[in-house]
Structure 1
Amino acid sequence: MAALACGQFVFAQTDMKPDTSALEQQGQNAEAAAAWRAYSAHHAGEAEPYAHIGQLEARQGHFAEAIAAYRKAMVIAPAMPALRPNLGLAYFKNGDYKQAIEMFSPMLKADPGDQRVTLLVGMSHYGLSEYAAATPYLKRAADADTQNLELQLTLAHSCLFAKEYQCVLDAFHRIIALNAESAEADMLVGEALDEMHDPLGAQKEFRAAIAVDPEQPNVHFGLGYLLWTKAQYGEATEQFEAEIQNNPQHVLAMLYLADTQMKTGKTEQSRASLEKLVKLIPQNAMAHRDLGTLYADAGQNDAAVMELKEAIRLTPKDAASHWRLARLYRAMGRADDARAEFEKTNSLNNAEDERLIKVMGMPPPEKPDAPEKK
């Protein structure tokens, strides 16, 4: 997306020396920059040499050097034409999105209709994962450039991450108008519908995406995950396997495939995969929990305890891990430890029930009256 908005802002030509136009026309930007540096050494109070150095360094992709030069020019002549936008652009290209926003925001306030700066501010927020902030700017940019497929897709992603699901659907219609066979658009709508609690609609969109492009990254995993959440493990297994065929390094597809194998009785396959996965993704609690479950079923109690404790360390509020460890302790005759884990399980489940009641705006259930004594 940086390519959408990264052309240089151009300074007005001046008659200042040195004249490096010939060097620049020949693409000798490093030599031209050296000439301006030599000049600036004797004219430290002039902003023009630093502005030229910034431009020349930016052309070479040396954005940190460009930023340093532009900042020197800003100290001397903050009102120099094109200096602020060029510094903002250098920040943007260097991934310094917060500083880019600081440069572009006054410009956008002065000219709210500047579509290029609008896009740059939106993309800067997007780069910071500030999707709720990015979306309004990206909407304005997309409204002004309805034929730009990449921009429409970026807007749809931002809307999805910002949980603005109607916005995803609106962007989807534009994307389909530009490309009737966009697997990525189908996937985005599928994710939005899943978040809107329409699992059948979500599955339909992912199946449509697979029909368009079965090699689209994550398309099989997305459908497999939806099926997995509905305990449709047989078809979920097929989708996870298809994703791994497309991308043998897709660790999440491997993880969920191992989980479905465990749930469908393919114990040896699941165990072999999980023993590899806890090394590949040691910070993933699900891998440790599933492996601990298999070890417990096989009577390898010490190994099971170790894996389940690691799962709990990684996700202390996962009631399932506490419950499995409680059952294991009970089977091992460790009654006190089992009781403590069951209590933690109940506490976590009760906390989740209370959270759902608050989210749904429901009053807490009334306690039943004590039975009358006869």
Structure 2
Amino acid sequence: MRSVSIVLVALTLHAAWAQTSKPAPLNEADEYLRKGVAAQQHKDLNAAIDDYRKALAIDPKLAEARANLGAALSEAGQFDAAIVEDTRALASAPDQTAVRMNLGLAYYKKGDMENAHTAFEAVHVARPQDVAAAVLLGYTDIKLDKSSEAAAMLTPLENGRESNMDLEYVLAYALIDSGEETAGLPRMEKVAKATQSADGYFIAGTARLRRREFHEARADLDAAINLHGDFPGLFTMAGQARDALGDVEAAQPAFEAALKADPRDFTANLYLGTMRLKQRNLDSARPMLELALQLQPKSPMARLQMAKLNAMTGKYAEAAATLEELEKADPNWIDPHIELAPIYYKLHRPDDGQRERNIVQQIEARQQKAGPPKQ
């Protein structure tokens, strides 16, 4: 599952102390605390950090200043320093869940999901109905490959909170990522529509494509594009959905856009190279197929398309060698047999060519008997 940034409200939280100030300063440390709070509220983080540190230099036990310093450092992107201050604040006030939330956020923003999870879990245990904490805990679960646990934890919180898009987003993501796509997809599409989220449409479209629900996949992925989604993989997925529906005319520009964003996109090179091959634009197809094969030398489809290109340019022996290897790896894959038959005739091996034709007929008969593949 593609990683996206999904937490909206929760990432703006600070320690509760950061939002309050005392009515009147009792001493110089309190005065610096008051000035720090005012500066932080006006987003002057450097001044706030400086004032909090001055307060702590006078009174190291001033818990409010310590907690607020951690929040300000985290907001300023100084995550390691924020973690130090939050940890010190918790040492003197272990029951301060707001500070523990800030500690989790600092770890989260730093990318340390293990420690973020530990902090958010402690907040969730202390405040099981706190949706913001549950959302963050659920997302760290997903990042730690525990999507089923995230879904199980978040599902009981959903009743009566169906309009909370942060909760719905993470729950939908967890359900899809844990294989419960039937439950997750409608939620993700609801969130995407309500919030106009290109990410949401992309996740839903990717899952629909995987389920071979091509019309729905195309609708979701095109919606993401219309919202100016420009993240990696979007145009590649949109191209695949369009191609699966037989709309090559629309698929081609999508793959071209994918290659413009990432010239080394394996799938886009393979699909667009294959399209150019079918159009007999061999000079354009070759560099794309060669790059695809370079990126994934063992890809059966890339090898098949290169074999076709070699056959079309008279490199029959080279094409035959590749197709024979593909046959050996998967005897029931019909495409290598189809391609090999005429190549053998060109190589003056009519018996081998007839054998391949017979194999193709046998595979087709088995496929017809088995019926269409299950969707």
**Which residue number corresponds to residue 141 of structure 2?**
159
**Which residue number corresponds to residue 183 of structure 2?**
204
Residue 287 of structure 1 aligns with an amino acid whose one-letter code is A
**Which residue number corresponds to residue 260 of structure 1?**
241
Q: Normalised by the size of structure 2, how large is the TM-score?
A: 0.67
**Which residue number corresponds to residue 299 of structure 1?**
280
Q: Is the 8 A contact 1:58 1:66 kept in 2?
A: yes
Q: Which has the higher contact order (CA 8 A, sep 6+)?
A: 2
| Aligned counterparts of 1:318 and 1:144: Cα–Cα separation in 2 | 51
Q: Find out whether 1:94 has 2:76 as its counterpart.
A: yes
Q: CA deviation at 1:141?
A: 1.5
Residue 5 of structure 1 aligns with an amino acid whose one-letter code is H
Residue 87 of structure 2 aligns with an amino acid whose one-letter code is S
Residues 33-77 of structure 1, C-alpha deviations (whole Å, 9 max, x = no match): xxxxxxxxxxxxxx8997776555434312234435655776x55
Pairing partner for 2:104 from 109, 114, 122? 122
Pairing partner for 1:323 from 299, 303, 306? 303
**Which residue number corresponds to residue 137 of structure 1?**
119
| Aligned counterparts of 2:91 and 2:188: Cα–Cα separation in 1 | 41
C-alpha change, 1:219 and 1:89, in structure 2 (3 Å) is closer
Q: Normalised by the size of structure 1, how large is the TM-score?
A: 0.67
**Which residue number corresponds to residue 84 of structure 1?**
66
C-alpha change, 1:327 and 1:192, in structure 2 (3 Å) is farther
Residues 4-30 of structure 1, C-alpha deviations (whole Å, 9 max, x = no match): 3244276893455xxxxxxxxxxxxxx
Q: CA deviation at 1:114?
A: 2.0
Q: CA deviation at 1:318?
A: 7.0
| Aligned counterparts of 2:165 and 2:27: Cα–Cα separation in 1 | 54
Residue 100 of structure 2 aligns with an amino acid whose one-letter code is T
| Aligned counterparts of 2:246 and 2:268: Cα–Cα separation in 1 | 17
SS at match of 2:159: helix
Q: CA deviation at 1:122?
A: 0.9
**Which residue number corresponds to residue 370 of structure 2?**
none
Structural RMSD (CA): 4.0
Structure 1 runs not aligned, ≥5 long:
17-46, 350-374
Q: Find out whether 1:223 has 2:235 as its counterpart.
A: no
Q: Is the 8 A contact 2:239 2:252 kept in 1?
A: yes
SS at match of 1:118: helix
Q: CA deviation at 1:110?
A: 4.2
| Aligned counterparts of 1:344 and 1:184: Cα–Cα separation in 2 | 50
Q: CA deviation at 1:159?
A: 1.6
Q: Is the 8 A contact 1:326 1:339 kept in 2?
A: no
**Which residue number corresponds to residue 233 of structure 1?**
214
Q: Find out whether 1:13 has 2:25 as its counterpart.
A: yes
SS at match of 2:239: helix
| Aligned counterparts of 1:79 and 1:155: Cα–Cα separation in 2 | 32
Q: Find out whether 1:103 has 2:85 as its counterpart.
A: yes
C-alpha change, 1:169 and 1:249, in structure 2 (3 Å) is closer
Give the % identical residues: 18
| Aligned counterparts of 2:184 and 2:25: Cα–Cα separation in 1 | 54
Residues 307-347 of structure 1, C-alpha deviations (whole Å, 9 max, x = no match): 2444466x55773575256425533345798699889999x
| Aligned counterparts of 1:212 and 1:107: Cα–Cα separation in 2 | 37
Count of paired positions: 312
Residues 152-179 of structure 1, C-alpha deviations (whole Å, 9 max, x = no match): 3222222212222243123323431340
SS at match of 1:271: helix
Residues 181-220 of structure 1, C-alpha deviations (whole Å, 9 max, x = no match): 5565455344334443x3xx31332124546774442444
